[in-house]
Amino acid sequence: MANEEKTTGFRPLTPEPTLRRLPWYLAYVSLLRSRGVEFVSSTTISKEINVDSSQIAKDLSVLSIKGKTRIGYEVEALEMAIKDFLGFTSSHRAVMMGVGSLGMALIADRGLQRFGLDVVAGFDTDPSIIGLTIKGVPVFGISELKKRREAYNADIGILAVPVEQAQSAADLLVDAGVHALWNFTPFRISVKPGIVIENTSIYANLAVMYSRLSALDQGK
């Protein structure tokens, strides 16, 4: 459970599986904090979440805090350390491409802000949407993308356009200067090297769920 002192300010690249598990620990630790629990060990976390306790200890070793023998981690400090490490306490600015059903929902969802993402503006081609303000977030026409993105200094572009426009919208965002694309379409966009792409295809997960449900029905 010990954690090596970092001897340099340069943070090594964290393995992606660790980055995907840390939010699970964070969710559990937040629950414990809300219940007033003060300390937690990787063994306790392991019992709640289906992950091996040595794996948990290894994952938590990337953080700047240490657990204490027999007592474990201080819950509040651990929660804050994970949040910090994952970038959830920093403010990242993003522009939303496509303010249709999903884009509007994502702007309206205050959840993103709790995880450090500030959607500063939306962009759309639909004249009936341009000019609207959704929960304080203005919607502009696509022609204003480059100028507005620069003014807001937004690093992240969120893709919530129809699938047919995914690639062209991605190109516009990259051209406007974003360094990362959060792609909510199921389209596999391609961009020049050095641009980060994170795919979150909500609907693709449905196929896996349907298939398992249907296997369940067949098994009866």
Positions 115 through 134 that interact with a copy of itself (CB under 8 A) = 115-117
Least CB distance from residue 177 to a copy of itself, whole Å? 13
Which one of 102, 119, 120, 137 is in contact with a copy of itself (CB under 8 A)?
102
Cβ distance to a copy of itself smaller for residue 2 or 209: 209
Q: Out of 56, 95, 106, 170, point to the residue binding a copy of itself (CB under 8 A).
A: 106
The DSSP-derived string for 181-218 is: EEE-SSS-----TT-EEEE--HHHHHHHHHHHHHHHHH
State yes or no: residue 206 binds a copy of itself (CB under 8 A): yes
Q: Pairing mode, if any, of strands 133-134 and 137-141?
A: antiparallel
Query: Mask 138-157, x = binds a copy of itself (CB under 8 A)?
Result: -----------------xx-
Please state, in angstroms and rounded to a whole number, the distance separating the CA atoms of residues 118 and 92.
6
Rg (CA), the chain: 21
Draw the binding track, 165-184, toward a copy of itself (x: CB under 8 A; -: no contact): -x------------xx-x--
Binders in 74-93 for a copy of itself, by CB under 8 A: 86-88, 90, 92
Strand boundaries in the chain, DSSP class E: 39-40, 73-74, 92-97, 117-124, 133-134, 137-141, 156-159, 180-183, 196-199
